Amino acid sequence: MIPLMHSLILATSLFIIGLFGALIRRNFLFLLLSLMVMINGALIAIVAAGAYWQQSDGQIISILVLSTAIAESCIGLALLVKMYHRRKTVNIDALSEMKG
């Protein structure tokens, strides 16, 4: 069995990598990927805590969070395709321009 501290270090590392990716990148696709890395880090922490306390609640919650993350990814990819068709770019700075 993997010790809880190792799992939490991995989860924290993944979350920080995803956070920096979300803060630094301007590409919408990489922003979505960074969010998925952050969610996976949180899921590892939830599953590790559930395994440490020998409760199956962590695994059930992780399945719910994972299904929510998949729905988020589908919506994000649909927005990405729509944005690319309208603006011919995936740069999120292009969305901040106001028309009027």
pLDDT digits (tens, 9 = 90+) for 21-71: 999 998 999 999 999 999 999 999 999 999 999 999 889 999 999 999 999
State the pTM of this model: 0.85
- Which residue do the tokens 């770019």 mark? 89
The runs of H, that is alpha helices, within the chain are 4-24, 28-52, 57-87
Residue 15 has pLDDT above 90, yes or no: yes
Residue 90 has pLDDT above 90, yes or no: no
Q: Which residue has the higher pLDDT, 79 or 96?
A: 79
Cα 73 to chain centroid distance, Å, stands at: 9
Contact between 26 and 45 under an 8 Å Cβ cutoff? The reply is no
- Which residue do the tokens 């590392």 mark? 13
Contact between 71 and 65 under an 8 Å Cβ cutoff? The reply is no
Residue 20 has pLDDT above 90, yes or no: yes
Angle among Cα 83, 43, 5 to the nearest 5 degrees reads: 135
What pLDDT score does 91 carry? 85
